[in-house]
Amino acid sequence: MTETFTDIIPPHSLFGRLRAKAPDAWQAYVCHEFVRKLGDGTLSGAAFKHYLVQDYLFLIQFARAYALAVYKADDLTAMRQFSGIVHAILDMEMSLHLEFCAGWGLSEADIVAMPESRATVTYTRYVLEKGMQGDVVDLQVALMPCMVGYAEIANRLIADPATRLDGNPYRAWIEMYASAEFQDVAKAEISLLDHAAAQRGAEGRIAGLTETFAKASQLEADFWQMGLDLAK
């Protein structure tokens, strides 16, 4: 049997437990219609291009959130890991995203000239607010649906017999997030959350962290829906 991403999530990890405690919000996100249409290749090009633009604008705020995590971290090990993520976003991921966008006829000038959508603003500011009001665990939990969710979504699509890869215009996107490199990044995020949680007494805060996780997952689902709605 092919191993799926969910097979390798440590069952007692904080992420695994939060995922299990917010099943409706999580499934609405990772099984969204936008995702299903990516898999079978029926998503409209307009919806995908709008998503690409907003995802780049999202990455700018994502980098800020991880920079805040450097400040909020309790030890040098975590600070270095968060700092590495900031570097990866600003100096690698955003460049790769622009290369991907170029294949869809989008230049950097086109992208930065666009305003942030309501869904982009709502989710990214929610994450930053959680980080500023709370501690590093609050911030990480709000970020987890994005970083780990994409790994699970792509892994699910690769394993799903309904997914069409041959001739699918979104094959490159699926394979990028299903790659061993990105899957390893997601697994490292799960471990890093456990590291911070052990220091910050997360066991006594599960209810509040679950609420944050569920809300962030809902906002991620709204981000997918944004692409569908604005393409109609």
Question: Taking a C-beta distance cutoff of 8 angstroms, is the pair 220, 35 a contact?
Answer: no
**Active-site residue (options: 146, 181, 189, 203):** 146
The pair of three-digit structure tokens given for residue 18, joined into one six-digit string: 């939060």
Q: Could you confirm whether 220 is annotated as catalytic? A: yes
The DSSP annotation for 125-171 comes to HHHHHHHHHS-HHHHHHHHHHHHHHHHHHHHHHHH-TT---TT-TTH
Question: Taking a C-beta distance cutoff of 8 angstroms, is the pair 15, 216 a contact?
Answer: no
**Active-site residue (options: 93, 152, 189, 220):** 220
C-alpha distances out from residue 129 to 126, 156, 187, Å? 5, 31, 25
Q: Could you confirm whether 31 is annotated as catalytic? A: no
User: At how many degrees (to 10) do helices 206-230 and 23-30 cross?
Assistant: 30
CA-to-CA distance for 93 and 97, rounded, in angstroms?
A: 6
Q: Which residues are catalytic?
A: 146, 220
